[in-house]
């Protein structure tokens, strides 16, 4: 795999919080991210994809060109490379059983990216790895026993009694699920420090275009690879830790009867996805009630009084959420910027949004105290956390 390009702050600093954390509530203490070295500008994607898959259908190329423009993505990182396709040409051959080859690439790649993101996060945190008591590992891109959580814990040099939780195949809402699980661990185990890491690659879903699988083109135009990590803990240590976000209250909810709207299946050729056209509408129809449920915990009433960290599944979802909740134009800027810079990187993307949000809140004199982190995925599942900026 190509050398990892780490994109994080990479240094520890103990700037005082503007607000005091609520005693006993979980906080985010540091964040890190990492990417494969291969960066693909969106304007170069079509020619490369059509060439690599030996597609000669002009109509498919034209459709992919249109999709690449509508996604608003400008750049993405990817594990897939010319070297991999030269070694495994069958990955670009229709109907070829390639699940073993894909996992041979993906399994080590996701751990390598998770390792680099975790190291960047731990460096920013500023405490020794021995102080990590739990690890939550999220990925929809690897399959093996033992899982990547064990490999990551071993490579980082964590204690052998570290508590491990592995969350597999949750898709785009996995990052917020990981935050909810990390929050529960931190708040119920005094003194604990949880390393939450997410890592994803599109290797399992890469395949030549086929008119019978129109969603493959959407995936080619939208999704990217990368990893993220955060340290979560309650009651941060003064002068040793710098909390910047409190995880105040969390809710998960599924919409009955919508389990086929986002459908994924593992086959001998990799992962096949089907995405219902009614997904944005389903989210729009249910998002207001879901948000109000989260806001009620702090007696909040106005959507525009909050900051918003929304997983950017695609521009249509962001546009409908913005319109339905009558949000001001800049409220989803951090989500739109993450989508533009990285594409949809599944479970990782919410952390890229939160990192953007951290920087934006630093710039504001009167920054919003409360906000929402939201993600949506198979089920249809809604994950939400009421955040408090510190």
- How buried is residue 125: exposed, middle or buried, by Cβ count under 10 Å (0-12/13-18/19+)? buried
Distances (CA, A) of 169 to 131, 252, 319, 326: 28, 16, 26, 33
Contact 108, 19 (CB under 8 A): no
Helical spans, DSSP H, in 15-98: 42-52, 58-70, 82-87
Phi-psi domain of 10 (left: phi exceeds 0; alpha: psi -120 through 50; beta: other)? left
Q: Of the residues 121, 172, 291, 334, which is catalytic?
A: 172
Element (H, E) at 34: strand 26-36
Residue 12 is a catalytic residue: no
Contact 109, 226 (CB under 8 A): no
| CA gap 10, 7 in Å, rounded | 8
Of 272, 256, 275, 254, nearest to 264 (Cα)? 272
Say how many C-beta atoms besides its own lie within 10 A of residue 79's C-beta: 26
Half-sphere exposure for 213 (CA within 13 Å, toward CB): 18
Q: Active-site positions? A: 172
């Amino acid at each position: 795999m190509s050398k990892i390009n780490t994109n994080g702050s990479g240094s520890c600093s103990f700037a005082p919080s503007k607000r005091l954390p609520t005693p006993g509530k979980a906080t985010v203490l540091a964040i890190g991210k990492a990417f494969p070295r291969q960066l693909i500008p969106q304007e170069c994607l079509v020619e490369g994809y059509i060439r690599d898959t030996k597609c000669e259908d002009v109509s498919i190329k034209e459709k992919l060109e249109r999709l690449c423009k509508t996604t608003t993505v400008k750049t993405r990182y990817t594990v897939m490379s010319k070297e991999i396709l030269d070694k495994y040409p069958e990955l670009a051959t229709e109907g070829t059983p390639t699940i073993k080859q894909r996992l041979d690439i993906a399994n080590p790649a996701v751990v390598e990216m998770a390792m680099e993101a975790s190291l960047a996060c731990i460096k920013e945190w500023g405490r020794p790895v021995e102080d990590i008591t739990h690890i939550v590992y999220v990925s929809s891109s690897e399959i093996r026993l033992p899982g990547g959580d064990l490999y990551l814990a071993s490579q980082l040099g964590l204690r052998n009694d570290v508590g491990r939780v592995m969350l597999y195949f949750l898709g785009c809402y996995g990052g917020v699920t990981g935050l909810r699980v990390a929050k529960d661990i931190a708040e119920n185990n005094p003194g604990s420090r949880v390393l939450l890491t997410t890592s994803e690659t599109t290797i399992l879903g890469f395949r030549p275009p086929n008119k019978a699988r129109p969603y493959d083109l959407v995936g080619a135009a939208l999704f990217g690879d990368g990893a993220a990590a955060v340290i979560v803990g309650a009651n941060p240590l003064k002068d040793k830790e710098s909390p910047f976000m409190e995880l105040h209250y969390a809710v998960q909810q599924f919409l009955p009867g919508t389990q086929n709207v986002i459908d994924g299946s593992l086959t001998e050729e990799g992962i096949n996805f089907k995405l219902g056209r009614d997904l944005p509408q389903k989210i729009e129809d249910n998002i207001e009630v879901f948000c109000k449920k989260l806001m009620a915990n702090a007696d909040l009433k106005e959507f525009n009084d909050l900051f918003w960290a929304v997983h950017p599944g695609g521009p249509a979802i962001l546009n409908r959420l913005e319109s339905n909740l009558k949000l001001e134009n800049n409220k989803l800027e951090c989500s739109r910027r993450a989508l533009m810079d990285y594409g949809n990187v599944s479970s990782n993307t919410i952390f890229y949004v939160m990192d953007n949000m951290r920087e934006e809140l630093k710039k504001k004199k009167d920054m919003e105290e409360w906000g929402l982190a939201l993600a949506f995925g198979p089920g249809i599942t809604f994950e939400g956390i009421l955040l408090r900026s510190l």
